[in-house]
Structure 1
């Protein structure tokens, strides 16, 4: 009888050791599940989204203007503004002013070079974007004649 009691006692001890291991496993499983749910919530709800690129809207062609260059030369330039979708009616005088400021006094041989002309166009585009507070997203030359 004592052998049976010892066996039962040994089984009882084994059962009591399994209970803490099981609760540790359950705790670990619950912790992993909570982390997965939290990560999923962050991904779908709280994750910052990048701002959307503005969509092109109306094109606003401006009247050509003549600009004095260096050494008695001049430039006849026409531009068109690419507005963003939903932009309010804009006045082209700021664009013409920026164009005159940028091109006045330039050397005719420099602005006749394609690389220089593209660089000036990029600079004009960024200046117009700033002056029109993001309502203009691009500028195009519609006329570019030097003499």
Structure 2
């Protein structure tokens, strides 16, 4: 009678395991086969994640730009005519006076018709009146007051006046 022999092995049929091999060699051979596949899967997964992140960052940069779009600055106004304002005497503190004459630098957009200068005189009177003679005589203060007057005129005349020049400035 023929003898039937059965072999129980943990490896694959036709694998590297030989009949009669120990159980420990079978277990380590199975783990060694899975380890390279597992490392390859991890590397592939990391590469895919890196590509997705880089692609998302590039898309965000290109679509959104470098941040919120800054509005383009308005072009500088083009100088037009200069309108002289009649000099006026202003009361200063302590009984002193300031004789103030000015000219308004208009923009080119104003055209032929000069704006009413009464508003400009009113702003100048409100800004310079009541100050001490030391305040209005100091060159630095005078420049600051002139800059403030120019700013107020630009707002009041809504783009028609771009600057102011002092043509008469006498204190007493």
What TM-score comes out, normalization by structure 1 length?
Answer: 0.70
Tell me, in whole angstroms, the C-alpha distance in 1 between the residues paired with 2:117 and 2:163: 13
SS of residue in 2 equivalent to 1:48 = coil
**Does residue 56 of structure 1 match 2:77?**
yes
Are 2:57 and 1:38 aligned? no
Task: Choose from 44, 52, 59 the match for 1:22.
Answer: 44
Matched, 1:111 2:136: yes
In structure 1, list runs of 5 or more residues that go unmatched: none
> What's 1:97 paired with?
122
The number of equivalent residue pairs is: 145
Instruction: Say whether residues 1:78 and 2:99 are aligned partners.
Output: no
Matched residue, 1:3: 16
1:142 is the counterpart of 2:155: no
Does the C-alpha gap of structure 1 residues 14 and 76 become closer, same or farther in structure 2, counting only changes over 3 Å? closer
Q: Please report the RMSD computed on the Cα atoms of aligned residues, expressed in angstroms.
A: 3.4
Tell me, what secondary structure is at the counterpart of 2:63? helix
Q: Could you tell me whether the CA contact under 8 Å between 2:150 and 2:164 is conserved in 1? A: yes
Name the larger-Rg structure. Answer: 2
Question: How far does the alpha carbon of each residue in 1:80-112 deviate from its partner, in whole angstroms, 9 at most, with x for none?
Answer: 2354x6467643322122112222344445423
Specify which structure has the bigger relative contact order, considering alpha-carbon pairs within 8 angstroms and separated by 6 or more residues. Answer: 1
Are 1:61 and 1:81, in contact at CA under 8 Å, matched by a contact in 2? yes
Secondary structure, aligned partner of 1:63:
strand
List per-residue Cα deviations over 1:51-107 (Å, max 9, x = no partner): 515503224323222223342634041222354x64676433221221122223444
> Could you list the runs of 5+ residues in structure 2 that have no partner in the other structure?
1-13, 19-25
